Homo-oligomer: A and B are copies of this chain.
Amino acid sequence: MVETQQCRRNFISLLAFCIFYSINVLIVEAKTHYHVWDVKYTYKFPDCYKKLAITINGESPGPTIYAQQGDTVVVNLTNTMLTENVAVHWHGIRQYGTPWHDGTDGVTQCAIMPGETLDYKFVVDRAGTYLYHAHYGMQISAGLYGFIIVKLPDGVSEPFAYDHDHTILLKDWYHGSTYEEAVGLSSIPFKWVGEPQSLLINGRGRFNCSAADTASGVCNATNSDCSPYSLTVVPGKTYRLRIASLTSLSALSFEIEGHNMTVVEADGSFVEPFVTKNLYINSGETYSVIVKADQDTKRNYWITTNVVGRKPSTPTGLGIFNYYPNHPYKYPTTEPTTGPFWNDTASKLAQSRAIKAHHDYVTAPPPTSDRVIVLLNTQNLVNGIYRWSLNNISLSLPLTPFLVSLKHNFTDTFDQNPPPDTYDVENYDIYSVAENKNATSSNPIYRIDFNTTVDFILQNANTMANATSETHPWHLHGHDFWILGYGDGKFNITKDPKSYNLANPIMRNTVPLYPYGWTALRFRADNPGVWLFHCHIESHFYMGMGVVFEAGIDKVGTLPKYIMGCGKTKHMINP
């Protein structure tokens, strides 16, 4: 009887401790960051030229989301545009357990209609430098983009030291609207919008206003929106710069005049440090570099970004690396650096190969894969319209999001024929213009066994123009992948895997495919849901350059109703 009472007392004490401990752990380890976003069109002058931009709370780029590993982020997004829908993707956040919050229209949700509000809610499960951006139409080009910065848990530190932490977001900028671009892309004959007018650093650039445009107010060189980005540094201090690109089209180079950068992070993974004067960066990639303010403190230096990979006609994007106490807007008297030559693919490839996992943070890939999917990247005419295709299939997103179709066993909402795992390797000439007459626009998906290991081999080819092959930065949703290797020419499935880096490959979510080359990736399909893998050039994805796969759909929980409302989900309306 006494023992029983004692036991009860012990039990109650333990229970009280457990409750107390749980509450504290929750408070310490799992903050919730609540953001309220009003998404609407606003006139902005990012490069001094007036444009209706899609803004978040009036700003483009939008506010940076800061959180700590394990925190929950809630973004209460209201669409206050007049007639246009929106969806926002949280780039690099894997959405374990919340695949319906990945924010990809047609894949994981119906777009958010004008006037409507959606609460995106997800856990940021690991530290690193990530992004968010629209995933509907071509709304990145219209200005809907920003940073997500996830810090390490208290008491844990990176394998590199720095005094200050700054963000630098790169963007190419068009003066025309995305409607204009889209109409041209889907026209017969095809009409290309051309190269961007400006490059923006943290949303700021400079376009050379004509007299007429100045007179009409369309261009305003004194508008505060386009005062240059200036990064003030204290002599002797060390800076972590988180550099990311969300360009619509352009691959970029990035330099800080007279300074070396040590690359230490890529897409949330620690990199075995290496030093460079120039950082190549593609749309969808993030890096951290370490820069020491160790140069002439009496002057400022240029921050420059330039187009590479396509023959540039866009002026250098300029910012100021400002040594305190010089004036932050005092231009250097030196000429801005112009970066490496635009078509020096070898140098870009060399930098890509240099990016390996930090020796203390290697996650070894599975030594073999269960399935190899080779994706031939081609450009073709489908019904007279320019499209990009993978193994002759150009992705046209279905009206009903794949996630809903698969969860609810709809079989009439997308193409039920599985897409091919390879192409006619033997006979296809990647160096010639090919007609690819069998190319179609469709929406089949890869069904991948849950928790298996899959290799994606991206194979580049000639476009529809003679002697032309482009760079494509491919981005994977819901997962990181190991980058096993890059190569020139046609991938040889017997020979090339022998050269894979299985020792210390970096894990990333975005990787370039170089002209006439191949890129080999491996990932573990361990995240239940439906996921997109696509070229991050917005117009290329609009033109079909992506594939979708499913893994573990049976493990996905009940889908929230608020992601529905489009396509066949209307058939599920039962009052």
When A408-B575, A574-B574 are in contact, do A178 and B566 touch as well, CB less than 8 Å? no
Interface residues on A, range: 35 or more
Minimum distance in angstroms from A547 CB to a CB of chain B: 19
The one of B41, B86, B569 in contact with A183, judged by C-beta atoms closer than 8 angstroms, is B41
Which segment of A131-139, A221-229, A499-507 sits at the interface?
Answer: A131-139
Could you tell me if B567 and A573 are in contact, using CB atoms closer than 8 angstroms?
no
Asked if A212 lies at the interface with its beta carbon under 8 angstroms from chain B, I say yes
A-B contact list, 10 entries, CB within 8 Å: A42-B183, A52-B177, A52-B179, A83-B86, A116-B566, A212-B212, A561-B570, A565-B570, A569-B573, A572-B575
When A82-B179, A84-B84, A114-B85 are in contact, do A564 and B573 touch as well, CB less than 8 Å? yes
Give the docked Cα–Cα distance between A491 and B86 (Å): 47
Asked if A180 lies at the interface with its beta carbon under 8 angstroms from chain B, I say yes
Task: Enumerate A376-427 residues with CB–CB distance to B below 8 Å.
Answer: 397, 399, 408
- 16 more A-B residue pairs beyond the given contacts A110-B565, A115-B399, with a C-beta to C-beta distance below 8 A: A41-B179, A52-B180, A52-B183, A82-B178, A83-B85, A83-B137, A84-B85, A85-B85, A111-B113, A114-B137, A115-B567, A116-B399, A177-B177, A565-B566, A565-B570, A572-B574
The 4 closest A-B pairs by CB, nearest first: A83-B137, A565-B565, A82-B137, A82-B182
Give the docked Cα–Cα distance between A292 and B183 (Å): 44
Interface residues of A (CB under 8 A from B): 40-43, 52, 82-86, 110-111, 113-116, 136-139, 177-180, 182-183, 212, 397, 399, 408, 561-562, 564-567, 569-575
Give the docked Cα–Cα distance between A43 and B567 (Å): 28
When A52-B180, A179-B52 are in contact, do A571 and B566 touch as well, CB less than 8 Å? no
Give the docked Cα–Cα distance between A474 and B574 (Å): 37
Could you tell me if B574 and A569 are in contact, using CB atoms closer than 8 angstroms?
no
Question: Closest chain B residue to A50 by CB distance?
Answer: B180
Minimum distance in angstroms from A117 CB to a CB of chain B: 9
Give the docked Cα–Cα distance between A575 and B568 (Å): 11
In the complex, chain B residues whose CB is within 8 Å of the CB of A565: 110, 564-566, 569-570, 573
The one of B52, B110, B574 in contact with A113, judged by C-beta atoms closer than 8 angstroms, is B110
